Structure 1
Amino acid sequence: MFFFQGLTMGLAYVAPIGMQNLFVIHSALSHSLRRAIMTAFIVIFFDISLSLSCFYGIGTLLDHVTWLQAVILGVGTLLVLYIAYGMIRDIPAPISLKDQPASLRQTMSKACIVTWMNPQAILDGTMLLGAFRVTLPAAESTPFLTGVLLASGLWFLSLTGFVAAFRHAMTPRILRAINVLCGTVLMLYGLHLGYTFVQFFQI
């Protein structure tokens, strides 16, 4: 029961379109299936690490170290805007079976940014997972958390497979539009983070 509760809650948490999903979608459209799956696993790793941190109380640290909130907001704003700009200016070539991936280091750094430099994900995860942890019997925490972590893997791998399966039907113009759309959404995320950063100093 607690496992399926964690699984459904985890899916509801990761399914809405956010920076991680946009990053996975962009990877599945731009790279070979092999690299796209590798990227999905990298995102899953960082997502699981964030979920574990939220479940075991990263919110407590942020509550006691106020300057750390400002650092996360400020750095997160700049990095998200940088990634968004790269997506918007990128002009995709016609998709072929030839892999055209970013380096593994770049992929890992960007996956880390869209996960750990996303204050909204940290706050939402802390509120959701932290609240659930308080209400769970100690013996049921592990099954619940297992369901949450499995949901992350199922979602990002399924999303990658679905997008990759239909990408060959997409023309460069469609890919360009998707890049601009994803980049614009990320840009809005970045601007929202920037606004929150400014508001932080007006409290």
Structure 2
Amino acid sequence: MNFFLQGLTMGIAYDAPIGLANLFVINAALTQSRKKSLLTALIIIFFDVTLAFACFFGIGAIMKKFEWLQLIILLVGSLIVIFMGINLLRSQTNDISSSQNEMTIFKTISSAFVVIWFNPQAIIDGSMMLGAFQVTLPNYSYPIFIAGVGIASAVWFILLSFIVSKFKDKFNAKVLRIINLICGVIIILYGGKLLFNFFDLLLG
């Protein structure tokens, strides 16, 4: 139970800071039906848990070893993230809901995949956090610990989606537009940071 609780608390610490995944879930909860926003949260959970598994077992070390892999992920990831942010900024107040509700399942899955897996900094940070912790654990505790991390991810994103969805009706169209703009700007800044890291790595 101790290892499970350690995984649970580590998982919350891993997911709680505001990042692209949280913004993605918040935006979906604000602009989609509750059913579809929950589906979006479940898709994010799947990719988040698989990334946590990969970090725990050392994918960050592989990325550090192969610089070309970092470059590809940084470039493609930054451009797609910036494009996502621009789309949010371009959406009009009266079509925030309708445009998002038209997202196909494929687009939701591909966007969630990019948000989680095309952020090298998150992969490396996650590897340092989870991978470093792995060294302190006995081998037999790995499944228990990583199960705690996975459950923390599920609880966090489902709760976040539910709470935002529950209270979104209290926001009028103007407030939704402002939130959308804020999310869009932050996402573009994330993408810009990834692009800067790409050129820094390329020229360094």
TM-score (norm 1): 0.95
- Mapped to 1, the partners of 2:165 and 2:65 lie a distance apart of 43
Q: How does 1:1-203 map to 2 (within 5 A)?
A: 1-93=2-94, 100-203=101-204
- Mapped to 2, the partners of 1:142 and 1:76 lie a distance apart of 30
- Mapped to 2, the partners of 1:8 and 1:101 lie a distance apart of 36
Q: CA deviation at 1:75?
A: 0.6
- Mapped to 1, the partners of 2:73 and 2:31 lie a distance apart of 29
Determine helix, strand or coil for the equivalent of 2:101.
coil
Greater mean deviation of Cα atoms: 158-167 or 135-144: 135-144
Q: Deviations over 1:119-151 (max 9, x none)?
A: 121111111111111111111111111111111
- Mapped to 2, the partners of 1:176 and 1:60 lie a distance apart of 41
Check the 8 A contact 1:80/1:186 in 2, yes or no: yes
> Which letter does structure 2 place at the counterpart of 1:162?
I
TM-score (norm 2): 0.95
- Mapped to 1, the partners of 2:30 and 2:64 lie a distance apart of 39
Equivalences, count: 202
- Mapped to 2, the partners of 1:88 and 1:70 lie a distance apart of 27
> Which letter does structure 2 place at the counterpart of 1:76?
G
Q: CA deviation at 1:101?
A: 3.9
Determine helix, strand or coil for the equivalent of 2:135.
helix
Check the 8 A contact 2:96/2:177 in 1, yes or no: no
Check the 8 A contact 1:30/1:101 in 2, yes or no: no
Determine helix, strand or coil for the equivalent of 2:94.
coil
Determine helix, strand or coil for the equivalent of 1:201.
helix
Consecutive aligned runs of 4 or more in structure 1 exceeding 6 Å deviation? none
Determine helix, strand or coil for the equivalent of 2:203.
coil
Check the 8 A contact 1:80/1:190 in 2, yes or no: yes
- Mapped to 1, the partners of 2:52 and 2:103 lie a distance apart of 26
Listed as ranges, the gaps of 5+ residues in structure 2 are: none
Listed as ranges, the gaps of 5+ residues in structure 1 are: none
- Mapped to 1, the partners of 2:96 and 2:167 lie a distance apart of 11
Q: CA deviation at 1:82?
A: 0.4
- Mapped to 2, the partners of 1:94 and 1:71 lie a distance apart of 34
- Mapped to 1, the partners of 2:44 and 2:102 lie a distance apart of 15
> Which letter does structure 2 place at the counterpart of 1:54?
C
RMSD value, Cα: 1.6
